[in-house]
Amino acid sequence: MVIKNGSLLKDIYKHKLDYFFILPKFILFIIFIALPVVWAFFIAFQEYGIFETIWVGLTNFRDVLTGDLFWIALWNTFRYTLVVVPSQVIIALILASLINPLNRKAQIFFRGAYYLPTVTSVVVISMIWRWMYNSKGLINYLLSLLNIDAVNWLGSSTWALPAIILMSILTPPGVGVILYLASMGSIPESLYEAARIDGAGPITSWFKITLPLVKPTTLYLAILGTIGSFQVFAQVLLLTDGGPGYATTTLVHLIYNSAFRDFEFGFASAQAIVLFGIVLFFSFIQVKFLSSDVEY
Amino acid sequence: MNVKKIFLNIAKGTVYLILIGWAIIALMPLYWMFTTALQLPDEVFSMPPRFIPTVVKKFFPLLLEGKREEAIFLLTESLRSIRVLFTDIGLPRWFLNSVIVSVTATLGILVFDSMAGYVFAKKQFPGRDFLFWLMISTMMIPGQVTLVPMFILIGKLGLKNSLGAVIFPPLAMVFGVFLMRQFMKTIPSELIEAAKIDGASEFSIYWRVILPLSKPALATLGILTFMAVWNSFLWPLIVLNKDYLYTLPVGLKTLQDKNLVDYGLLMSGASIAAIPMIIVFLFFQKYFVKGLTLGSLKG
């Protein structure tokens, strides 16, 4: 044992330069990620105050799970995710399938057009949509062309959440299109050739070849999308601030309010940890259901 | 044969129709932002909406007709809200803050992540895999979990209400280490061996062999980091509470809070925040694509 330890220390000493190369990143990682993560779990069991911090055990978690607000926020977040993630994945899949056979120039053009809106800040995009959703805004004008009455998009509890959902769906899934295109580009042409010889039409070969072979991308996008959707925040803050009432309050909006408007740090941390658990759970479910026959 | 050709053309036409239609839906909000920003103050709420701002329609015709003063008056009126943003509201300062924060964080990330990525990819040392996976496993944790402790920590470090509060946390992001390692693994080890035989020191191998070969990955990581920091919102919103420290997204949020229905002003501010990223994207599109595809590979 002693000899082994000695040789390990020697080994470490021999590689001291390697550790030096990691050191700056590792220090930053410890201070700004590892420490806060561990700390979050402590705070969740505390009543955090400026002058005094007391341990309260599971009280914060109990308050989170027995309060109405958490369940309202969870339900809103869930509805948002349930509509937005599948829509975005399907739209990305369809658009990529249509772009894939085009020539190189057209591919680059459409890929760029769909990705462009996603490089601008979600704050900017949300501000634009708030303006378009104004009662005298662009959307109601377009509806009036179809003889549909003006809708009070952001001010009514019926329409506020659908409005936020619609914005997310119509903001193109640029990342998805790019990843699907990359994935489709790596499918060998010979597979399609063989299918053609066997008499399969383009639709059949799409279902039998393309769809199964891009499944890893589908899984990746579904998980990434779910994690992102469960954290939806800026759209909510800028479009409705959770209102009217609590019609559009989402989990992260709730965490933000608890922590930085009410300064209930322990309560907010408990909410964040519950959110983490939910995200983990859904990622796990998706891996379970979608990856059963994925080959890497 | 002919029928088949017609059918094929119809199919092709439909495909283009769908793709172009969706591109219009995708780009419409951005177009509408720029349009509103350039409209005259009393034009913003006009019904039906004007899809081409008066200034765009009339500026050059007026000039050609020799009505120079009228043309310039129209232009200054249309750019009124941009002038307000630059003089009465501290938008240039927000812009500068965003530049400082994004550039500093990006440079830091490039140096630290390429150093760490290099040894994780090319070196054998005790604890290497443990350290790597320890860092990578935290990528799963949603940022909100660390929000409260980070807020307290930043206070204790004395960084609250300083730009450091929004520069340091992004430097710890581990995505770049993963990306650099993935890329550097593809650099042949023989090159490193050869440099070693030539008597190159560890540092000069990193500096003269690895970094030049990693340019594509560095460009990709640089652009993705720049975009992430430039657009980041929740964290700066929490730690920056002084007007002169706001980054653009936070500044825009307070601008909206104070001018709820002055859409001309809001869209002008949004345009100024959006333009740099749009330019970066148009110039470096291939690196965005590469970054996304490289980042999704499995370790």
Per-residue pLDDT tens digits for A189-220: 888 888 888 887 888 888 888 888 888 888 88
pLDDT for residue A291: 63
Quote the CA–CA distance of B160 and B162 in Å, as a whole number: 6
Topology (CATH) of A61-290? MetI-like fold (1.10.3720)
Contact of B29 with chain A, judged by CB distance below 8 Å, is answered with yes
- Better-scored residue on pLDDT, A123 or A189: A123
Quote the CA–CA distance of B36 and A127 in Å, as a whole number: 12
* Helix, strand, coil share (%) of chain B residues, nearest 5: 80, 0, 20
Q: What percent of chain B has pLDDT over 90?
A: 25
Q: Do A255 and B298 touch (CB under 8 A)?
A: no
CATH 2.102.10.10 fits B90-295, yes or no: no
Contact of A135 with chain B, judged by CB distance below 8 Å, is answered with no
pLDDT for residue B86: 84
Q: Do A15 and B125 touch (CB under 8 A)?
A: yes
Domain boundaries, chain A: 2-43, 61-290
pLDDT for residue B1: 58
Q: Do B293 and A179 touch (CB under 8 A)?
A: yes
Chain B residues whose CB is inside 8 A of the A127 CB are 33, 252, 256, 266-267, 270
Contact of A24 with chain B, judged by CB distance below 8 Å, is answered with yes
Q: How far does Cα B292 stand from its chain's mean position?
A: 14
Chain A residues whose CB is inside 8 A of the B22 CB are 91, 95, 114, 172
In this structure, which amino acid lies at residue A67? G
- B186 C-beta neighbours (distance < 10 Å), count: 10
Phi/psi region, residue A119 (left: phi>0; alpha: psi -120 to 50; beta: rest), is alpha
Query: Nearest to residue A183, comparing CAs of B286, B293, B289?
Result: B293
CB B212 within 8 A of CB B114: no
pLDDT for residue A292: 55
Chain A interface test: which of B31, B44, B144 (most A C-beta within 10 Å): B144
pLDDT for residue B208: 87
Q: How far is CA B186 from CA A19, A71, B174, B281, in A?
A: 22, 48, 20, 26
Residues in chain B: 299
Give A154→chain B minimum CA distance, Å. 13
For A21, the enclosing helix (H) or strand (E) is helix A16-29
Query: Nearest to residue A123, comparing CAs of B255, B93, B97?
Result: B255
Per-residue pLDDT tens digits for B245-291: 999 999 999 988 887 778 888 899 999 989 988 998 888 887 777 77
- Better-scored residue on pLDDT, A223 or A165: A165
CB A89 within 8 A of CB B228: no
Per-residue pLDDT tens digits for B107-128: 999 999 999 999 998 888 888 8
Chain B residues whose CB is inside 8 A of the A255 CB are 144, 147
On average, the pLDDT of chain A sits at: 85
Per-residue pLDDT tens digits for A224-282: 888 889 889 999 999 998 878 888 999 999 999 888 888 888 888 888 899 899 888 88
Contact of A278 with chain B, judged by CB distance below 8 Å, is answered with no
Provide the pLDDT confidence category of residue A6 given band limits of 50, 70 and 90: low
Q: Is the dihedral of CA A167, A169, A172, A174 positive or negative?
A: positive
DSSP structure class, residue A210: I
DSSP structure class, residue A56: -
pLDDT for residue A295: 46
In this structure, which amino acid lies at residue B96? L
Q: Read off the tokens for A55.
A: 């341990």
Provide the pLDDT confidence category of residue A31 given band limits of 50, 70 and 90: very high
pLDDT for residue B295: 61
Give A296→chain B minimum CA distance, Å. 9
Chain A residues whose CB is inside 8 A of the B146 CB are 33, 36-37, 39-40
Q: Do B138 and A37 touch (CB under 8 A)?
A: yes
Q: How many CB pairs under 8 A join A and B?
A: 258
Q: How far is CA A127 from CA A84, A239, B20, B261, B297, in A?
A: 19, 7, 25, 11, 34
Provide the pLDDT confidence category of residue B94 given band limits of 50, 70 and 90: very high
Most confident region among A101-115, B46-60, B98-112, B246-260 by mean pLDDT: B98-112
Provide the pLDDT confidence category of residue A294 given band limits of 50, 70 and 90: very low
Q: How far does Cα A102 stand from its chain's mean position?
A: 30
Domain boundaries, chain B: 2-84, 90-295
Quote the CA–CA distance of B262 and B50 in Å, as a whole number: 17
On average, the pLDDT of chain B sits at: 86
In this structure, which amino acid lies at residue B166? V
Place of tokens 């009036």: A144
pLDDT for residue A95: 92
Bond before B48 cis per omega within 30 degrees: yes
Chain B residues whose CB is inside 8 A of the A179 CB are 292-293, 296
Contact of A143 with chain B, judged by CB distance below 8 Å, is answered with no
pLDDT for residue B299: 32
pLDDT for residue A228: 87
Contact of B200 with chain A, judged by CB distance below 8 Å, is answered with no
Contact of B249 with chain A, judged by CB distance below 8 Å, is answered with yes
How does B253-278 read in b/e, with b if 16+ C-beta sit within 10 Å? bebbeebeebbbbbbbbbbbbbebbe
Q: Read off the tokens for A117.
A: 């809106």
Chain B residues whose CB is inside 8 A of the A171 CB are 26, 29
CB B212 within 8 A of CB B118: no
Contact of B142 with chain A, judged by CB distance below 8 Å, is answered with yes
Whether residue B205 is predicted with pLDDT greater than 90 in this model: the reply is no
Provide the pLDDT confidence category of residue A2 given band limits of 50, 70 and 90: very low
Q: Do B115 and A24 touch (CB under 8 A)?
A: yes
pLDDT for residue B298: 40
Residues in chain A: 296
Whether residue B147 is predicted with pLDDT greater than 60 in this model: the reply is yes
Quote the CA–CA distance of A60 and A265 in Å, as a whole number: 10
Quote the CA–CA distance of A29 and A50 in Å, as a whole number: 26
Bond before A244 cis per omega within 30 degrees: yes
Which of B147, B168, B289 shows the shortest C-beta gap to A272? Answer: B147
Chain A residues whose CB is inside 8 A of the B172 CB are 25, 28-29, 31-33
Q: Which parts of B138-262 fold into alpha helices (H)?
A: 147-156, 164-171, 175-184, 189-197, 202-205, 211-213, 215-231, 234-239, 248-258
pLDDT for residue A1: 41
Quote the CA–CA distance of A293 and A186 in Å, as a whole number: 19
- What's the complex ipTM? 0.86
Per-residue pLDDT tens digits for B26-35: 899 999 999 8
Q: Do A279 and B174 touch (CB under 8 A)?
A: no
pLDDT for residue B293: 73
Quote the CA–CA distance of B204 and B209 in Å, as a whole number: 7
Chain B residues whose CB is inside 8 A of the A253 CB are none
Q: Is B85 helix (H, G, I), strand (E, B) or coil?
A: helix
Quote the CA–CA distance of B212 and A144 in Å, as a whole number: 58
**Contacts with B, A 28-47, CB within 8 Å:** 28-29, 31-37, 39-40, 43
pLDDT for residue A157: 85
Give A119→chain B minimum CA distance, Å. 6
CB B98 within 8 A of CB B230: yes
Give A158→chain B minimum CA distance, Å. 22
Q: Do B278 and A120 touch (CB under 8 A)?
A: yes
Query: Nearest to residue B245, comparing CAs of B255, B253, B237?
Result: B237
Stated pTM of the model: 0.86
